[in-house]
């Protein structure tokens, strides 16, 4: 039994020693045949086992399996599994037959029922292996294309489906067969997470990467990318892809491939970017550079000179590559749009929690490109570009170096990003999530605006009365960032907000229990600190409202408690009347 388990472990291990494993299986089969011939009781049953094992041994001796065992470029996984199962069967048969070296009437009479059951089990197991081996021989005897499942019920049909497709990808003689198998594997992977896991466990990733790196067939490369995209739905599988050095390959191919493949590669990068380690790896490979170049291809960026582009595709892509850029002009508008959507999504996903990728975007004209496509794009393209800018702006709020690198005062990039965010914010009810995201990004960039850019403040004040409470709350938060003490222009900004009606509108949001209350209260406090001399506070009776809130549970919130007391004191000095909070 220990020998049988050891054989199973070796057979299902690595690809090394397949020839030794096959030789051992043949040797064990000979021992079974000899034990069957030497049996002194249950001779007919033992002879039947010997006959079947002889057939099994002849299959194991086939030239096809001998050649497959020593071939380095062969998919060995089904060979390992089926040979291990055959070993287990042969050791079981040998263990049983060795019990019948001695004859005896007592042994036959007493143990007849027990041994009959054992014989049936061994014969059934041998039949199962006899059914598996022809399938295995056919796998290695022809073009490498396998149709159908393993006949034996001892092996999960999902395994044989996976094996046949992976074997075809690795060993088929034609690119069309390999592409068809990759498409089938991609569809198989998307059916369930279990299928996905089986593909990875059975060694499907290396053959797919090998197929992807072979530029003899674009269709095969596209099919391999689709399969890898589905495999990458599991974070653990993304880690495996990174271990296989997938990131350098994807970035390299992104720079030299036809547009149909570039689109699929960008989608794969986007999916892999959900893993933080993948974002770091793609940052080391400077993946955002070819993505931005593809996204901005023939996109006019200079309003005074529409023919100006970010840079030509030939020079923007991998400078180290000697392969010319694809002839994009010949591609359909639909394919070009799909490529832009995929690239925008990849840039967005790569920028999430990744300072390295954000700085690489800042080093290029990436933000300017994204801003232009917010204006010109629609649907998913506009959404992906907007989300990328929002992610970038959110990081720039706390990353001083990034903010200085990307949003220089009066630079075309800063103006374009601000204008497009304002444009989205003013779209009204067209897409509420976009409006909220744009307002959030404007607030994150509050310290990048000069005191003279008051148009943005007017827009945000108007949105304090937006019918959607989430939009109104984000507008209050954004305005608070313009008027807070951390903003160098807080005094000018606060006065402008008050002039545009910010006091009255923010007071309407002070409703206990609503998401707008705390942001609106903080905004009102900042306005009171830096623009308390305005008549708006007296007209709206802001002092009384703040005093009342100071005594309510909402006024004790950690975000406003101290700020509220300071605001009341400041208003009391300008508006008059003793503060009940300081009595």
In a domain, 44, yes or no: yes
CA atoms within 13 A on the CB side of 81: 19
Looking at the 3D structure of the chain, how many domains does it have? 1
**CA nearest to 411, candidates 374, 362, 476, 475:** 362
Q: Is residue 114 part of a domain?
A: yes
d(CA 477, CA 381): 27
Give which of 66, 58, 8 is closest to 30, Cα–Cα: 58
Any domain includes 390 = no
Q: Kindly state the average pLDDT of the residues 425-431.
A: 77
Entry pTM: 0.84
pLDDT at residue 315 in the model: 44
Range of the domain at 109: 2-141
User: Residue 205: pLDDT above 60?
Assistant: yes
- Residue 144's CB is within 10 A of a number of other CB atoms, namely 21
Q: What pLDDT, in 10s, does the model give residues 489-529?
A: 999 999 999 999 999 999 999 988 889 999 999 999 999 99
In a domain, 96, yes or no: yes
Rounded mean pLDDT, 2-21: 52
Specify which of 33-47, 232-246, 416-430 reaches the highest per-range mean pLDDT: 232-246
Q: How far is CA 205 from CA 23, 160, 230, in A?
A: 29, 16, 11
pLDDT mean across residues, the chain: 84
**Residue range 521-565, pLDDT digits in tens:** 999 999 999 998 888 888 888 888 888 887 777 667 788 888 889
Tell me if residue 430 falls in helix, strand or coil.
coil
Cα angle 439, 443, 447; round to 5? 150
Q: Is residue 554 part of a domain?
A: no
Residue 197 belongs to some domain of the structure: no
* Residue 15 DSSP symbol: S
Task: Name which residue leads in pLDDT, 39 or 341.
Answer: 341
| H or E element in which residue 264 lies | helix 259-272
Cα–Cα distance measured from residue 496 to residue 483, given in angstroms and rounded to the nearest whole number: 10
Domain assignment present for 271: no
The residue with tokens 């070296």 is: 101
Cα gap 139→82, rounded to integer Å: 12
Residue of 456, 450, 519, 528 whose CA lies nearest to 488: 450
Query: Do 62 and 86 touch, CB atoms closer than 8 A?
Result: no
In a domain, 153, yes or no: no
């Amino acid at each position: 039994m220990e020998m049988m388990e050891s054989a199973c472990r070796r057979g299902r291990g690595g690809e090394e020693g397949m020839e030794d494993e096959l030789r051992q299986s043949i040797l064990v089969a000979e021992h079974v045949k000899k034990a069957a011939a030497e049996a002194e009781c249950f001779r007919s049953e033992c002879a039947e086992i010997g006959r079947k094992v002889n057939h099994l041994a002849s299959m194991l001796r086939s030239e096809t399996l001998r050649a497959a065992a020593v071939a380095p470029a062969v998919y060995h996984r089904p060979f390992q599994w089926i040979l291990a199962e055959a070993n287990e069967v042969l050791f079981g048969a040998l263990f049983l037959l060795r019990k019948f070296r001695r004859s005896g009437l007592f042994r036959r009479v007493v143990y007849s029922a027990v041994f009959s059951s054992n014989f049936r089990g061994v014969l059934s197991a041998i039949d199962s292996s006899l059914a598996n081996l022809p399938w295995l021989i056919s796998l290695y005897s022809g073009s490498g294309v396998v149709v159908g499942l393993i006949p034996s019920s001892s092996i999960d049909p999902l395994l044989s489906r996976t094996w046949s497709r992976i074997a075809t990808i690795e060993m088929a003689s034609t690119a069309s067969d390999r592409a068809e198998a990759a498409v089938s594997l991609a569809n198989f992977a998307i059916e369930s997470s279990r299928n996905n896991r089986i593909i990875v466990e059975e060694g499907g990733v290396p053959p797919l990467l090998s197929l992807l790196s072979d530029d003899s067939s674009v269709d095969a490369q596209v099919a391999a990318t689709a399969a890898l995209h589905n495999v990458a739905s599991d974070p653990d599988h993304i880690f495996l892809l990174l271990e296989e050095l997938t990131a350098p390959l994807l970035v390299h191919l992104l720079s030299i491939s036809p547009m149909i493949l570039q689109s699929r590669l960008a989608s794969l990068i986007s999916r892999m970017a959900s893993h933080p380690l993948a974002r770091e790896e793609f940052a080391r490979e400077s993946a955002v550079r070819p993505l931005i170049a593809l996204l901005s291809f023939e996109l006019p960026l200079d309003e005074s000179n529409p023919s100006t582009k970010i840079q030509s595709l030939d020079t923007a892509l991998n400078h180290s590559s000697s392969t010319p850029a694809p002839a994009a002009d010949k591609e359909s508008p639909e394919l070009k749009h799909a490529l832009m959507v995929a690239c925008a999504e990849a840039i967005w996903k790569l920028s999430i929690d990744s300072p390295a990728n954000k700085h690489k975007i800042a080093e290029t004209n990436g933000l300017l490109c994204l801003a232009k496509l917010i204006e010109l794009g629609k649907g998913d393209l506009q959404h992906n570009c907007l989300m990328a800018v929002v992610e970038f702006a959110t990081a720039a709020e706390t990353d001083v170096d990034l903010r200085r690198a990307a949003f220089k005062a009066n630079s075309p990039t800063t103006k374009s990003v601000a204008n497009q965010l304002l444009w989205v914010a003013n779209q009204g009810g067209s897409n509420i999530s976009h409006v909220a995201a744009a307002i959030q990004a404007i607030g994150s960039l509050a310290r990048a605006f000069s005191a003279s850019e008051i148009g943005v403040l007017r827009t945000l004040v108007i949105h304090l009365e937006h019918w959607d409470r989430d939009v109104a709350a984000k507008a209050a938060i954004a305005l608070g960032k313009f008027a807070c003490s951390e903003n160098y222009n807080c005094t000018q900004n606060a006065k402008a907000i008050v002039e545009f009606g910010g006091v009255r509108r923010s007071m309407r949001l002070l409703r206990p229990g609503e998401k707008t209350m705390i942001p609106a209260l903080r905004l009102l406090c900042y306005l009171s600190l830096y623009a308390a001399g305005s008549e708006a506070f007296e007209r709206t009776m802001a002092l009384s409202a703040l005093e009342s809130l100071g005594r309510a549970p909402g006024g004790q919130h950690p975000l406003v408690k101290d700020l509220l007391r300071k605001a009341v004191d400041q208003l009391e000095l300008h508006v008059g009347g003793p503060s009940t909070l300081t009595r």
